[in-house]
């Protein structure tokens, strides 16, 4: 039986965005004269902490010094704007099967939603770059990390998406790429399909309903085709 709704994570699930995020962070740090630079390996470790401001606070604690929380908030706003510019310049593509699954779901009357730790402007930038439309034209519901008290692995953002959809967890499926995403969806009572991304391939996906390489039709569980 097909679910009434599909709820997508964004970063790593819709598109491989993490290198664009890392670049945006590093360029923002450099412009601010901050002696921080996140290598790929460092950023992979920091992704265990969900949320950009939260990652910066984690890094401040690790290195023992850095800007205060108010400055971190300003840096994050600048980083978000920079990420939007990077994405708008081209080169970002949806992961295989994403566009087709969203279109097929809509055609058969399923609703499609986003539940993400990232901020709403980042969702808008990705949708504009990859679909040529604002997020609200692509998805029925967008629930973003800056709208909830606690980010993934807490269930808050999935619960918000379900509330806005007017559905219970038995009526939807979550599509994720990370351990924190799986934990978040599970805590909200949702079954989870995982497509590991470049930064999450080594994650522990225990409890996921299925782990598949991408969302192309041949890989999907029967009830999502």
11 among known catalytic residues: yes
HSE (side-chain half, CA atoms, 13 Å) at 118: 26
Rounded Cα distance between 42 and 222, Å, is 38
Q: What is the DSSP letter of 46?
A: H
> Based on the number of CB atoms within 10 Å of its own CB, is 223 exposed (0-12), middle (13-18) or buried (19 or more)?
exposed
140 among known catalytic residues: no
Rounded Cα distance between 120 and 137, Å, is 14
User: Is residue 158 within 8 Å of residue 113, measured between CB atoms?
Assistant: no
Nearest-5° Cα angle at 117, 123 to 88: 25
Q: What is the DSSP letter of 95?
A: P
Rounded Cα distance between 81 and 115, Å, is 21
CA-to-CA separations, 145 to 50, 117, 158, in angstroms, rounded? 9, 4, 10
CA distance from start to end of the chain: 11
Q: For residue 121, how many other CB atoms are within 10 A of its CB?
A: 16
Q: Which residues are part of the catalytic machinery? A: 9, 11
């Amino acid at each position: 039986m097909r679910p009434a709704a599909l709820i997508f994570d964004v970063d790593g699930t819709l598109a491989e965005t993490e290198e664009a995020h890392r670049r945006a962070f590093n360029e923002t740090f450099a412009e601010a004269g901050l002696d921080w630079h996140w290598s790929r390996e460092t950023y992979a470790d920091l992704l265990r902490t969900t949320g950009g401001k939260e990652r910066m606070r984690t890094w401040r604690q690790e290195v023992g010094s850095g800007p205060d929380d108010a400055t971190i908030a300003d840096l994050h706003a600048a980083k978000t704007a920079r990420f939007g510019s990077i994405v708008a310049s081209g080169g970002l593509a949806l992961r295989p099967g994403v566009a087709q699954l969203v279109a097929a779901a809509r055609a058969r009357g399923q609703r499609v939603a986003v539940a993400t730790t990232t901020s709403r402007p980042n969702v808008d930038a990705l949708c504009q770059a990859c679909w040529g439309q604002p997020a609200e034209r692509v998805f029925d519901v967008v629930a973003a990390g800056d709208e909830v008290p606690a980010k993934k692995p807490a269930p808050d953002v999935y619960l918000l998406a379900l509330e806005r959809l007017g559905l219970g967890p038995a009526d939807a499926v979550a599509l994720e790429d990370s351990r924190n995403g799986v934990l978040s969806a599970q805590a909200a009572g949702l079954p989870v399909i995982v497509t590991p991304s470049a930064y999450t391939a080594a994650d522990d996906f225990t409890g996921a309903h299925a782990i598949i390489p991408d969302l192309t039709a041949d890989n999907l569980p029967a009830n999502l085709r």
